[in-house]
Amino acid sequence: MPASDVHARAAAAPLSLPPEVAGRVWPARAWTGPRGEVRSSGHPALDAELPGGGWPCGALTELLQPQPALLEWRLLGPVARALAAEGRPIVLVGPPQVPHLPGLAQCGLPASAVVWVQAQTTAERLWCTEQLLRAQAAALVLAWLPQARPDQIRRLQVNALGSQALAFACRPLAARQESSAAPLRLQARVDLDWALQVQVFKRRGPVHEGEVCLPSVPGTLGAVLPSRLLQPRRWLAARRSALPQPVAVAVREEESADADAVGRPVLAGAR
């Protein structure tokens, strides 16, 4: 029998295993159960794509974006607000900009709930993040680690395993090409109409294809912005259609036959 027929029959035949073995086999197309507690992201469409239905506690999550300090709070604001309401601290390690307290207050984060760690170098940021995870000192740790190596990310993941905190590492898009021990990795970008486009390119479970579109008007702006600013895509399209369109001008053949040195038509009255 040709080898191709053997492989075809093996693929078509159901897998026959002893019951005690079959129960331990995990098909790649199936979800894996959460290894610990999860917290809802506050975005139902995103929760549907996250193993266990939310952000994992006791594990490192990588957030890749084209520019730091651009969309972290629009993505993580709902879960941070829920943790702050429980009186649990939110710790920022090495943010690229000074935290804007009035803006965080609009996201529902009072100044008393946010701790800012001014760590400059990669080594300082890694050390601070490790200590926070080991000491169980925060409910959410958000660290900016643009230059962390794969072995350093692995070390953070090991420290996160013994913690109940949500641990996030903000990294540039180039880090997608590097190996990572983080069990959950996402890439996010901003879109029109205050939307975020999020791709879950690594998770425990089936491969995620495409992007998830998340509405994310910052803070309380949704209550004060006019409709044309809440949906700029529709407003721009309407304005573009209202602009006068250029009119094509036909040139007669006898006029185009006579041209000056640079090819411009010369009219009879101009000779």
CATH number at residue 145: 3.40.50.300
- Between CA 170 and CA 173 the distance in angstroms is 10
Q: What is the model's pLDDT at position 171?
A: 98
Would you list the DSSP string of 78-102?
A: HHHHHHHHTT--EEEES-SS---HH
User: pLDDT tens-digit profile of 101-155?
Assistant: 998 998 889 999 999 999 999 999 999 999 999 999 999 999 999 999 999 999 9
Torsion 160-161-165-167 (CA) sign: positive
Work out the percent of the chain whose per-residue pLDDT is above 90: 60
Please report which confidence band the pLDDT of residue 26 belongs to, taking 50, 70 and 90 as the band edges: low
Q: 15-51 as b/e, with b when 16 or more CB fall inside 10 Å?
A: eeeeeeeeeeeeeeeeeeebeeebbbbbbeebbebbb
Q: Could you tell me which residue, 214 or 228, shows the higher pLDDT?
A: 214
Residue 252, sorted as left (phi over 0), alpha (psi -120 to 50) or beta, turns out to be beta
Tokens of 112: 């008393």
User: Does some domain include residue 143?
Assistant: yes
User: Does some domain include residue 24?
Assistant: no
Q: Report whether pLDDT(268) > 60.
A: no
User: Does some domain include residue 18?
Assistant: no
In order of 63, 73, 170, 172, the CA distances from 67 in angstroms are 11, 13, 10, 7
Q: Note down the domain range covering 78.
A: 31-218+226-233
pTM (predicted TM-score): 0.76
- Between CA 81 and CA 140 the distance in angstroms is 11
CA dihedral 252, 253, 259, 264 (to 10 degrees): 40
Residue 186, sorted as left (phi over 0), alpha (psi -120 to 50) or beta, turns out to be beta
What mean pLDDT, rounded, does the chain reach? 84
User: Does some domain include residue 127?
Assistant: yes
User: Does some domain include residue 255?
Assistant: no
Give the pairing of strands 195-202 and 212-215: antiparallel
Please report which confidence band the pLDDT of residue 179 belongs to, taking 50, 70 and 90 as the band edges: very high
The number of angstroms, rounded, from the C-alpha of 38 to the middle of its chain's C-alpha atoms is 18
User: Does some domain include residue 135?
Assistant: yes
Q: Is there a contact between 96 and 130 (Cβ–Cβ < 8 Å)? A: no
Q: Give me the helix-helix angle, 150-161 and 122-134, nearest 10°.
A: 20
- Between 21-25, 65-69, 167-171, the lowest mean confidence (pLDDT) is in 21-25
Q: Report whether pLDDT(256) > 60.
A: no
Q: What is the model's pLDDT at position 253?
A: 56
- Please write down the HEC assignment for all residues of 153-217: HHHHHHHHHCCCCEEEEEEEHHHHHCCCCCCEEEEEEEECCCEEEEEEEECCCCCCCCCEEEECC
Q: What is the model's pLDDT at position 158?
A: 97
Work out the percent of the chain whose per-residue pLDDT is above 70: 74
User: Does some domain include residue 247?
Assistant: no
- Between 11-20, 168-177, 229-238, the lowest mean confidence (pLDDT) is in 11-20
- Between 44-48, 217-221, 222-226, 239-243, the lowest mean confidence (pLDDT) is in 239-243
Total tally of structural domains belonging to the chain = 1
Q: Could you tell me which residue, 70 or 200, shows the higher pLDDT?
A: 200
Q: Report whether pLDDT(201) > 70.
A: yes
Q: Report whether pLDDT(7) > 50.
A: no
Q: Report whether pLDDT(192) > 50.
A: yes
- Between CA 27 and CA 42 the distance in angstroms is 29
User: Does some domain include residue 158?
Assistant: yes
